[in-house]
Amino acid sequence: MAVDPRQVVAGFLTLSMFVMLGNMIKHDHFTPVGAGDELGLEAAGVESNEIKVADNTEMTKVNTLGVDLPMETAEEIRPCWSKPRPNVQESKGFVTFSLTMGPEYHISQITDAVVIARYLGATLVLPEIRGNELGKKRKFEEMYDVDKFITSLDGVAKVIHSLPHGVSAKKPAVVRVPNRVTEEFIRGTIEPIFQRNNYLRLAIIFSSVSLKQKETSNKDLDSTACLAMFSGLELKPEFSTVAKQMLHRLKEISKKSDGMVIAVDMQTDLLEKKICKTSGGARRKGCYYPQEVVNFLKKDDIMPAANKGEFLKSGDSYLARALDLRICSESDVFVPAIPGLFYGHVAGKRIASGLTNIIVPAPVYSSSALASEFVSTYVSKKSHLAYSCYC
C-alpha cells in the first residue's frame, strides 16, 4: 500500500524542509526579520492559541525567529543510576504486550513492560509491532535492534523471542496498565492477577503524556526504568545508519552557511488547519502542502538514494516517525510543535546526551526576546524524568 503523503510530511518535514532554518542562523544567533516578512507560527500552519493539556508546564512561549540562540556543545553528563542487581531467581511466569501507535509510544510501552517484568520476576516476551490498520503487524526485529535490546536487559529481566508452546495455547490475563506504572499499581493490581495466572497480556493506557519527574522510593525500579527508556530500544543497524548519514548530511549543509541544524517537528493535523489560508483563501507564506514536500524530498540528497524507496514507498509511517525522532534527538536545536510523547522522548534523549537547546513555539512575536527566557521547562526547570537518570 502506498504511503499517504501526509504521513511523509509527519515523518520527514523535519529532516529536509527545515534545513533552511539552519541556514537562517548566522554567527550563533537568529537574524531578525522585518514585520512584512515575518514568518511566525501562523505562517507555518500552527494554531495560534496556546496549547492546553492536563499539565502544560512543559511548553513555554518562544518565537522561533528573532531571538538569540547560542551554539550548543554537548554537556558532560553521567548516569545517576547503576544497572539493577542481577535477578537470579527462576522465572515465575510470562509477560506479553504489543508496541502500538508509533515509536514515541514504543519507548514508554517498553519501559513499563520491563519494569513490570522486573518486579514480578517474570520473563518478557518480545512484542510484535502493530500498525494503525487492523491486522497489520511486524516482528520486533524488523524495526529494532533485538540483540541490543536483549543484551541491555541481561540480568535485569529475561527476554525470549516467543512463548513456550505449552503456554501459548493458554489464555492470558489481560491487564490495563497506566503508562509510567507505579510500584503501588503493580503491587496492588497486577501482582494479585499474576499470582492467579502467571501469563499476562499488558495493555498500556496513555491517560497522560507528561514525562515530568515523580517522587518514587524504589531505587531498583527507578534504575530499571532508566535503563529501559534510555538504553534499551534502538533502531536496527541498517536504519540507524540511514539516520546517521542523514544527520551528517544536514550538518554538512549547515556548516557551509555557518549555521546550525534546527529540527522542527511538524504534525499532520497542524498542516491541515485553515490558518494556513488568508481570509481571501490564498495560502500564507511558509505553508507547505504534503505533495510539495514529497516532491522536495525526491529532489534532494539528504537521504541516501538507495534508501529513499524503502522509506517513502513502504507505507510504514512508524519507520518514518522513528527516523524523525532520531534526527530531532541529535540536531543542534529542537523545536516541538505540540506537547506529547514525541516531544517528551526527544527532550529526554537530548537531555541524556547533553543537548539541551530545546525551544518551544508560541504565537507571540518579540524581536528582543532571548531564547534563554523561553527554553522548554523540561530543561529550564529540570523537570524531565531524564534528570533523575542523568546528572
pLDDT value of residue 365: 52
**Which of 69-73, 94-98, 258-262 comes out lowest in average pLDDT?**
69-73
Q: Is residue 348 part of a domain?
A: yes
Do 384 and 247 have their domain in common? yes
> The domain containing residue 269 runs over which residues?
237-388
67: its cell numbers: 531571538
Give percent of the chain with pLDDT exceeding 70.
63
Cell 491486522: give the residue.
135
State how beta strands 199-205 and 173-178 pair: parallel
- Do residues 199 and 338 both lie within one domain? no
For the ranges 240-244, 298-302, 333-337, the maximum mean pLDDT occurs at 240-244
Asked whether the predicted pLDDT for residue 119 surpasses 90, the reply is yes
What is the pLDDT confidence band of residue 60, given thresholds at 50, 70 and 90?
very low
pLDDT tier, 20 (very low <50, low <70, confident <90, very high otherwise): very low
With DSSP H G I counted as helix, E B as strand and the rest as coil, what are the percentages for the chain, rounded to 5? 40, 15, 45
Integer Cα distance of 307 and 319 in angstroms: 12
Is residue 228 domain-shared with residue 101, that is, in the same domain? yes
CA distances to 191, 215, 331 from 218, rounded to whole Å, are: 16, 10, 34
Identity of the amino acid at 380: S
More confident residue, 93 or 248: 93
Q: Are residues 223 and 322 in the same domain?
A: no
Buried b (16+ CB within 10 A) or exposed e, 122-154: bbbbbbbbbbeeeeeeeebeebbbbebbbebbe
- Same domain flag for 161 and 246: no
pLDDT above 80 for 184: yes
Domain end point (choices 217, 232, 247): 232
Rounded to 10°, the helix 341-353/317-330 angle is 40
Task: State yes or no: pLDDT of 280 exceeds 60.
Answer: yes
Segment 81-97, tens digit of pLDDT: 888 888 768 899 999 99
| CA–centroid distance for 342 within its chain | 4
Task: Decide if 35 is inside a domain.
Answer: no
Nearest partner of 283 among 291, 295, 274, 292, judged by Cα? 274
Least confident of 38-42, 216-220, 233-237: 38-42
Q: How far apart are CA 179 and CA 211, in angstroms?
A: 10
* pLDDT 10s digits, 319-370: 888 888 999 999 998 988 778 899 999 999 999 999 999 988 655 555 566 6
